[in-house]
Structure 1
């Protein structure tokens, strides 16, 4: 009896990048990464929004009826003008970032009281009087309370950073704590980013993507 020839299956095509979303084989979904001062919204149910947080805070806001959702990442509590060293950079401030994201999700057809809001970040990576993380947490909790909005889940404060994976399919969040040994690196990255944006003019005040 002759040797049976093996059947070769054609290689599965790798999904292409879709707008800002690149395919993540590990999680078997599209991945969008956001940086400090950014926000991203989407109606796609097959994306994972990822960010890394130190003293910054990120809010994940979702319409439970349509699945439309988004995440922001703000660096400081609030600004009356949205100016950062002469550059329009409103999304870097909590009051602008929260209002913009919430309003964008509300446009998808949802009552304010029905919003799913999850908060993460606000670590204090270094000892000192500034404690930016605490200030960001205090701001966002007071902001939502004043707006009559309920926090459905949160993981805030502490001495270490976080990596957040927000899955648009069902609104679930996977939170990974950074190793304490990485705190110095994360703090240095935050400081470098602030220095860089102080020296760079930024056009536009809000970036929200469909």
Structure 2
């Protein structure tokens, strides 16, 4: 007997990197990213059945009279504006959008709390823009892996165990004498 059932649709995964965003209503698409101190905002409009995700590195650019230039999307204000505007362009309505925020870890003790600053910025942006924040998983010291099905608004966020691999460097010989390398 011949099986005439249609094959199950394949899941398409797109990785959203720093400075990127994506909006879709494709039921087979999953947007994914890994976050440390960065923030990902996931927006979903349950009426329009559309969602999106951004990924930004820092809340705001360093003060400079030249502006942020080509790196603008790496900063919260630009990343949030791009995501919200693309959602609206594709049929979402600001009043029915719902937001989730993820990331914002402070991964290196003794350094500026960049993750906390990023999370605070995103919360304030959503409040000022009138978009309801329904879930926030920010802070702490662990990285997170995030998956969003934009057509349904379903999100899965998991802590990443262990250390992130650092850039590869040559092994240093065993210390000898009185010199300390750091």
Please, what TM-score do these two structures have when normalized by structure 2? 0.80
Aligned match for 1:39, one of 21, 29, 39: 21
CA RMSD of aligned residues (A): 2.4
Say which SS state the counterpart of residue 151 (structure 1) adopts: strand
Aligned match for 1:73, one of 32, 38, 55: 55
| Structure 2 match to 1:91 | 73
**Structure 2 unmatched runs, 5+:** 168-182
Deviations 1:111-159 (A, max 9, x none): 3121011110000111023111011011111111222221011111111
| Structure 1 match to 2:129 | 147
Separation of aligned partners in 2, 1:54 and 1:108: 29
Do the aligned partners of 1:82 and 1:96 also contact (CA within 8 Å) in 2? no
Separation of aligned partners in 2, 1:8 and 1:114: 47
Count of matched residue pairs = 163
CA 42–111 in structure 1, closer or farther in 2 if over 3 Å, else same: closer
Say which SS state the counterpart of residue 125 (structure 2) adopts: helix
Deviations 1:140-198 (A, max 9, x none): 1111122222101111111100000101241110111111x22x53xx46xxxxxxxxx
Separation of aligned partners in 2, 1:107 and 1:8: 45
| Structure 2 match to 1:53 | 35
Separation of aligned partners in 2, 1:170 and 1:162: 21
Say which SS state the counterpart of residue 119 (structure 2) adopts: helix
**Structure 1 unmatched runs, 5+:** 1-6, 16-27, 190-210
Say which SS state the counterpart of residue 100 (structure 1) adopts: helix
Do the aligned partners of 2:58 and 2:75 also contact (CA within 8 Å) in 1? yes
Name segments (4+ residues, structure 1) moved above 6 Å.
7-10, 12-15
| Structure 1 match to 2:107 | 125
1:191-210 alignment to 2 at 5 Å?
A: none
Q: After the TM superposition, which of the residue ranges 121-130 and 51-60 deviates more from structure 2?
A: 121-130
Please, what TM-score do these two structures have when normalized by structure 1? 0.70
Separation of aligned partners in 1, 2:95 and 2:75: 24
Do the aligned partners of 1:70 and 1:101 also contact (CA within 8 Å) in 2? yes
Separation of aligned partners in 1, 2:67 and 2:133: 25
Separation of aligned partners in 1, 2:36 and 2:157: 13
Aligned match for 2:156, one of 174, 182, 197: 174
